[in-house]
Amino acid sequence: MTLDRIETIIIGGGQARLATSYWLKQHGREHLVLERASQPGHAWRQRWDSFTLVTPNWMFRLPGAEYNGDSPGGFMPRDAIVATFEDYAASNALPVLYGVDVTAVEPLAGRLRYLVRTQEKECEAQNVVAATGLFQRAKIPAFATGLPSEVLQLPSEQYRNPAGLPPGAVLVVGSGQSGCQIAEELRKSGRRVFLSVGTCGRAPRRYRGKDIFDWLEMIHFVDRTTEMLPSSKARFAPNPHVSGAGGGHDLNLHQFARDGITLLGHLRGATDERMGLALDLHESLAKSDQFEAHLLGMIDAAIARSGIDAPEEVRPVLRYGYDQQQIAELDIEAAGIGSVIWAAGYSFDFGLVKLPVTDGDGFPLQQRGVTGYPGLYFVGLPYLHTQKSGLLVGVGDDAAFIAEHIAVTQGMP
């Protein structure tokens, strides 16, 4: 087995590793990106056919390729996103090796270097940048194995379109951005839809004459740091549900109820024919309502302080979800459910780094991506610096910081 030496290895895919590679190249630093997938934009390729960005195009800020098209307020569709990543990797001649699965990163005894193990070979690096992200494995509970074998189960990244599902009703588990958008598409296709609701917040697509993200930028909402959150676990809270499809529109669980989607509480378990449900639907709906009210209150206060000329707006108060009866059990056969789509979020694991680098929540211990171990970095995660550290609008700034840190410290032994 050969042992290669290289200055910096970046592990992982997506915008974080591309942005870091871009900036290292600007500094003239030797590096290599190891990507498990076979081509650029893998995570985006896993989205459903009609997927679009939820954030406006102006927030697409890959370094050196910031959006400059004629639709800054539009929402880029999946295929255009993938094409952008393909072009970015090619036009910048980024040194990416595809189809390489990293299995471990280990410190080399007595040396400020790391051994990066893959399934085929080992590499020695002075610096390792982990860009694996938070969205590593779909959360699917163990009791899912208790569902009838004839019911198709898919994590949300494997859903493509309504026609790809077997006949029958669909249970969507999770009311974050993916779950709500998929549930809406299924309902519009004529499917009967059941939606197990979580505590994800809601935001309007537009408010007082602007897209919601224009206001969030103004009030520095995505510039929040961990210290500004109610708890460290709030770092992993889902983003509020809103849609970019069809030019962008609201997603509202109460409207879902009015349109015929059956809202359910959290799943508690499953036997062969029945699913147990928590009676917490109304509580979850209240949290979503409260999130929107609090967010709009922040925006209103900022508009007043700044003296911005923005027309006042009174949002409609919908309560249809509260009219739905809460049920403790769902008969799968009687409901005609032929598919279950798991959209309840993702788990993460940084265990490939064989050092004590995570806190009690499993999140990396670091300062803006710089760990306490010389040459070991993280990039592409929310709240490494601010919330937008994990978003297209902010990952480039964090990548630039890490690349500069690497460039400055290369004289160290």
For residue 25, the model assigns a pLDDT of: 96
- 3-136+348-409 topology per CATH: FAD/NAD(P)-binding domain (3.50.50)
Q: In the predicted model, what is the mean pLDDT of residues 138-149?
A: 91
Q: In the predicted model, what is the mean pLDDT of residues 391-412?
A: 91
- Give the pair of three-digit tokens for residue 139: 């959360």
For residue 385, the model assigns a pLDDT of: 95
pLDDT(105) > 50: yes
pLDDT(1) > 50: no
Cα→Cα distances 377→69, 381, 393, Å? 33, 11, 20
Q: With the C-alpha atoms ordered 295, 300, 301, 302, is the resulting torsion angle positive or negative?
A: positive
Does residue 94 come out as left (phi exceeding 0), alpha (psi in the -120 to 50 range) or beta? beta
pLDDT in tens, 265-301: 999 998 878 999 999 999 999 999 999 999 999 999 9
Q: Backbone phi, then psi, for 15, in 5-degree steps?
A: -65, -30
For residue 3, the model assigns a pLDDT of: 56
Q: In the predicted model, what is the mean pLDDT of residues 151-155?
A: 96
Tally Cβ neighbours within 10 Å of residue 180. Answer: 26
- Give the pair of three-digit tokens for residue 315: 């949002």
pLDDT(409) > 80: yes
pLDDT(101) > 50: yes
pLDDT in tens, 354-375: 999 999 999 999 999 999 999 9
pLDDT classification of 194: cutoffs 50, 70, 90: very high
pLDDT(130) > 50: yes
pLDDT in tens, 325-361: 999 999 999 999 999 999 998 888 899 999 999 999 9
Does residue 197 come out as left (phi exceeding 0), alpha (psi in the -120 to 50 range) or beta? beta
pLDDT(413) > 80: no
pLDDT(170) > 90: yes
Cα 74 from Cα 52, distance rounded (Å):
9
Q: In the predicted model, what is the mean pLDDT of residues 35-43?
A: 87
Per-residue H/E/C for 222-264:
HHCCHHHCCCHHHHHCCCCECECHHHCECCCHHHHHHHCCEEE
Q: In the predicted model, what is the mean pLDDT of residues 80-92?
A: 94
**What is the residue extent of each domain of the chain?**
3-136+348-409, 138-345
pLDDT in tens, 50-74: 999 999 999 999 999 999 999 999 9
pLDDT(120) > 90: no
For residue 263, the model assigns a pLDDT of: 98
Q: Backbone phi, then psi, for 255, in 5-degree steps?
A: -65, -35
pTM over 0.75: yes
For residue 411, the model assigns a pLDDT of: 57
pLDDT classification of 2: cutoffs 50, 70, 90: very low
Q: In the predicted model, what is the mean pLDDT of residues 123-133?
A: 93
